[in-house]
Amino acid sequence: MPVSPVLAARRLVVKVGSSLVTNDGRGIDHSAVARWAEQIAALRRAAKEIVLVSSGAIAEGMQRLGWKERPAAIHELQAAAAVGQMGLVQAYETAFSRFGLHTAQVLLTHEDLADRRRYLNARSTLFTLIALGVIPIINENDTVTTDEIRLGDNDTLGALVTNLIEADVLVLLTDQPGLYTGDPRKDAAATLLSVGRAGDSALEKIAGGTGSPLARGGMLTKVLAAKRAARSGASTVIADGREEGVLTRLAAGEPLGTQLVAETMTLAARKQWLADHLRTAGRLSLDAGAARALTRDGKSLLPIGVVACDGAFERGEVVACFGPEGREIARGLVNYSAGETRRILRKPSSEIASILGYVDEPELIHRNNLVIL
């Protein structure tokens, strides 16, 4: 059994779920928050840099408002988040202050990470907070997001933050011991997976659904988050947040929970940003030759290899590239608008000028602005 990757990690992103933070919806579990603060303080003394991604705002808001069931209406979810954030921030600030540590609330939306300037601003702010010894407490900005732009769950947010700050390890604390070969609530023969490869499609097949009515995630979102975190070279640990001293034990090398090891090369920051786009402005369907040129040969995408164009994107926006089998294989910054792309697709680059009346670039997407998924 290999040691926990947390042992050698210098920078960590720790995500705690709603059921842990709010004691299964009964309100913020202050004793649990205090335990995590104590452990994170110990990790800080060991020269580790910590960013905390915390769920719980909506669940805490529901408890304060006396709501028994999670509402479906987006404005009610936003209201619950606004109310709950007050208690959540107060709980963390109080807990960390006992150890002489300051906290900072950072609320993010997908638009903060999709826009290059805001992405870099968020990155700089987090790096500055880390350098100051402050513990950033990150949550999705549920008070302003809508169904169309929400990140979807804080497992995904944890992975995006891991990529954003180039963390070494993502720790997902949940109310389960880790990832099992089946649903242990239904399958008595299910066993805990100690080690797996981040991005292994077999893990997605065995991951179950949401285990808590308060949560938006589940084991599948954790497996997918590990896959995303691996794009920047970070391994992921899924562990039981109620386990005594879970963070300090992981930092000591104890192999708790499930380790999903990253085996990919670290992406450059620009390509991390491209890969982290959860929304794209359009879709390009490629023929087999173009798909092979991108994925195997590291080439740029030329118009001649595109068989279809969907969406209403402008030059410079991020578009997704799909292979003949219908799977997304890449995404990148497109050099021509959707209307122009439809006019030049299936055409050689030498004909762009005669078709459009000008040539910006011979490539539809240059390989430097392209990331393979």
168 compared with 205, residue with greater pLDDT: 168
Which CATH code of 3.30.360.10, 3.40.1160.10, 3.40.50.620, 3.90.226.10 fits the domain covering 11-271?
A: 3.40.1160.10
Amino acid at 96: F
What is the rounded distance in angstroms from the CA atom of residue 285 to the CA atom of residue 326? 8
Q: What pLDDT, on a 0 to 100 scale, did the predictor assign at position 361? A: 86
| Strands annotated E in 166-220 | 169-174, 195-197
Q: What is the mean pLDDT of residues 17-35?
A: 88
pLDDT value at 200 more than 90:
no
pLDDT value at 139 more than 70:
yes
Model confidence at 250, pLDDT cuts 50, 70, 90, reads very high
Give φ, ψ of 347 to 5 degrees: -110, 145
Q: What pLDDT, on a 0 to 100 scale, did the predictor assign at position 214? A: 41
For 168, the token pair is: 């070494």
- Which has the closest alpha carbon to 299: 348, 367, 357, 220? 367
**Mean pLDDT taken over the chain:** 88
What is the rounded distance in angstroms from the CA atom of residue 150 to the CA atom of residue 282? 18
pLDDT value at 330 more than 50:
yes
In this structure, is the dihedral angle defined by the CA atoms of residues 321, 327, 330 and 332, taken in order, positive or negative?
Answer: positive
Cα 65 to chain centroid, rounded: 29
Q: What is the mean pLDDT of residues 306-332?
A: 93
217 compared with 84, residue with greater pLDDT: 84
Q: What pLDDT, on a 0 to 100 scale, did the predictor assign at position 143? A: 64
Q: What pLDDT, on a 0 to 100 scale, did the predictor assign at position 10? A: 95
Q: What is the mean pLDDT of residues 14-24?
A: 89
Q: What pLDDT, on a 0 to 100 scale, did the predictor assign at position 360? A: 80
Neighbour order of strands in the sheet with 135-140: 103-108, 135-140, 49-54, 11-16, 169-174, 235-240, 258-261, 195-197
Using an 8 Å Cβ cutoff, are 225 and 216 in contact?
Answer: no
pLDDT value at 102 more than 90:
yes
pLDDT value at 144 more than 80:
no
CA distances from 136 to 128, 195, 211, 228, 270 (A): 10, 29, 27, 21, 23
Model confidence at 234, pLDDT cuts 50, 70, 90, reads very high
- Render 7-71 in DSSP notation, one character per residue: TT-SEEEEEE-HHHHTTTTTS--HHHHHHHHHHHHHHHHTT-EEEEEE--HHHHHHHHHT-SS--
What is the rounded distance in angstroms from the CA atom of residue 70 to the CA atom of residue 56? 12
Q: What is the mean pLDDT of residues 267-296?
A: 86
Model confidence at 267, pLDDT cuts 50, 70, 90, reads confident
Domain 280-372 bears CATH identifier 2.60.40.420 = no
Model confidence at 19, pLDDT cuts 50, 70, 90, reads confident
Q: What pLDDT, on a 0 to 100 scale, did the predictor assign at position 142? A: 65
Q: Where are the chain's structural domains?
A: 11-271, 280-372
8 compared with 150, residue with greater pLDDT: 8
Give φ, ψ of 301 to 5 degrees: -95, 120
Model confidence at 149, pLDDT cuts 50, 70, 90, reads very low
Which residues partner with 104 through β-bridges?
136
Q: What is the mean pLDDT of residues 271-300?
A: 89
pLDDT value at 110 more than 80:
no
Model confidence at 261, pLDDT cuts 50, 70, 90, reads very high
3-state SS of 306-365 is EEEEEECCCCCCEEEEECCCCCEEEEEECCCCHHHHHHHCCCCHHHHHHHHCCCCCCCCE
What is the rounded distance in angstroms from the CA atom of residue 63 to the CA atom of residue 25? 7
Model confidence at 44, pLDDT cuts 50, 70, 90, reads very high
**What percentage of residues in the chain have a pLDDT greater than 90?**
58
CA distances from 137 to 96, 141, 281 (A): 11, 12, 30
Biggest CA-to-CA distance, the chain: 70
The pTM of the full predicted model, rounded to 2 decimals, is: 0.79
pLDDT value at 20 more than 70:
yes
What is the rounded distance in angstroms from the CA atom of residue 205 to the CA atom of residue 223? 10
Least confident range of 19-28, 309-318, 363-372: 19-28
